[in-house]
Structure 1
Amino acid sequence: MTEKQDAAPPAITPKTPAPRPDAPAGSGPVPAPTSAPRPVDEHDDEHLDEEDYAPRKVRLTLSRIDPWSVMKMAFLLSIAIGIMIVVAAFVFWYALNDLGVFTSIDETIRKIVGTESELDILQYVERDRVVSLAMIIAVVDVVLMTALSTIGAFLYNVVAALVGGVHMTLTDD
């Protein structure tokens, strides 16, 4: 064997501990671990002890929200909700039609009003009318949700400038 292969691996020397991010300023560095760290293979997660790595806590303040990003996000989410409204209306109409709910309601109204009445419920609950109404509701939903979300972001920025925003503590568990 060569001399390099017989030599022991280099000793791990502890570095100066860095200050903790959640500690108050000037509180000093993080205390060194009581036991010497051991070399760990990067693919070997079994040797990592939970007590060696405590979750960090970081206190952050949400002081401003970008209205443009809120508008884009709200627009895309409201498009998805609009599609769900149209699909749900379509499926709901087919379920009620297959169960015979519309014809049952029409027969009941004809019994109450009489057969000479020109009131025809079935013409108001046609599939095309129901889906068209759902599409109109979906378009209104897209416009309103996008506008209200963007206005909400502007209002949050104004209020956050006055009171400082939302304080939160994040951890990495």
Structure 2
Amino acid sequence: MTERPADQAPVQTRPDTSDDTARIPLAERLQRRIGAATDDRRSNGQAANGSGRILPPPPPEQVAAREAEQARQAEQARQAEQARQAEEARRAAAQREAEQARQAEQARQASAPVPTAPPAVPVPAPDATAAGPATVTTRRTSKAARAPRRARLRLSRIDPWSVMKISFLLSIAFGIVTVVSVFMIWSVLNAAGVWTSINNTVSDTVSSGTTASTFNIEDYLGLSRVLGFTMLVAVIDVVLMTAIATLGAFLYNMASSLLGGVEVTLSEDQG
């Protein structure tokens, strides 16, 4: 055993903590180690949950899927931005072209000379032999210009509600016309003495020497009875005509859905 020199600094001995460590419970020592590891991970940028448990690193598949999702979202955002920029460029180009066309039109109108009446020049008499083909061509051109345009259309559907309204109104008008017509016809026949002639004829035929006939046709064909019967027929016609027209519209729509409807050709008026 060598002796230590006198000028050498005394060696510091490590304090004996075996007794203190032995006195610390095992759970508290584990908690200290976990806390120290948590502090190290937090200092290195790794997060831990609120309960003090250390989260294991995610599996490589999850990391790859997350990175792929982030890349896909970035690609979608980039494509959307490119589409928006292309749309803005297209709109700007369209506006620029419209502005250029408007400016060109304004410049053309500004530079166009003001039309003046040409001097009167005597026109020589046309030669019949020279003007023959030109006259025929002019006539053909004018006929082609006056040819009416035609459009071929197809009636594919009829609205039943509009048909019902129109048919109801027309049937009411038809009923009114019928009542007025019957009243006028009865009045004309009465003024002409038709009813009196019929009564006289029946009386002469039926009556004998001792008995006289009391037949009167107005008891059967009186004005009130004729007009009442006519009004009843007119009301029935209103109901029947409206129902038949509406049902016809439904049937036409069904047939049109199967066969295509009625084709109509329209042309312009030549006048």
TM-score (norm 2): 0.44
How big is each residue's C-alpha offset from its partner over 1:108-165, in whole Å with a ceiling of 9 and x where there is no partner? 1222222555543221222122111211111111111111111111111111112111
Larger radius of gyration: 2
Unpaired segments ≥5 residues, structure 2: 1-109, 116-137
Q: Which one of 196, 205, 212 corresponds to residue 103 of structure 1?
A: 196
Supply the distance in 2 between the matched residues of 1:111 and 1:119 (Cα, whole angstroms): 10
Q: Which consecutive segments of 4 or more residues in structure 1 shift more than 6 A? A: none
Which amino acid in the other structure matches residue 67 of structure 1?
Answer: P
Q: Is the 8 A contact 2:203 2:214 kept in 1?
A: no
Question: Which protein has the bigger helix share?
Answer: 2
Kindly, what percent of the aligned residue pairs are identical? Answer: 52
Supply the distance in 1 between the matched residues of 2:188 and 2:166 (Cα, whole angstroms): 33
Q: Is the 8 A contact 1:59 1:168 kept in 2?
A: yes
How big is each residue's C-alpha offset from its partner over 1:57-108, in whole Å with a ceiling of 9 and x where there is no partner? 1111111111111111111111111111011011000000001111111221
- 1:142 to 2:238 alignment: yes
Q: Which one of 246, 257, 260 corresponds to residue 161 of structure 1?
A: 257
Q: Is the 8 A contact 1:55 1:171 kept in 2?
A: yes
- 1:151 to 2:151 alignment: no
Q: Is the 8 A contact 1:103 1:122 kept in 2?
A: no
Question: Which residue of structure 2 lines up, in the alignment, with residue 69 of structure 1?
Answer: 162
Higher relative contact order (CA 8 A, sep 6+): 1
SS of the aligned residue for 1:55 comes to: coil
Q: Is the 8 A contact 1:102 1:125 kept in 2?
A: no
CA distance 1:50–1:131, shift in 2 (3 Å): farther
108-117 or 79-88: which moved more? 108-117
Supply the distance in 2 between the matched residues of 1:164 and 1:90 (Cα, whole angstroms): 46
TM-score (norm 1): 0.67
- Deviation of residue 52 (structure 1)? 3.5
SS of the aligned residue for 1:58 comes to: strand
How big is each residue's C-alpha offset from its partner over 1:42-65, in whole Å with a ceiling of 9 and x where there is no partner? xxxxxxx77545422111111111
Question: Which residue of structure 2 lines up, in the alignment, with residue 8 of structure 1?
Answer: 114
Supply the distance in 2 between the matched residues of 1:82 and 1:166 (Cα, whole angstroms): 31
Give me the CA root mean square deviation. 2.5
How many positions carry a matched residue from both structures?
A: 132
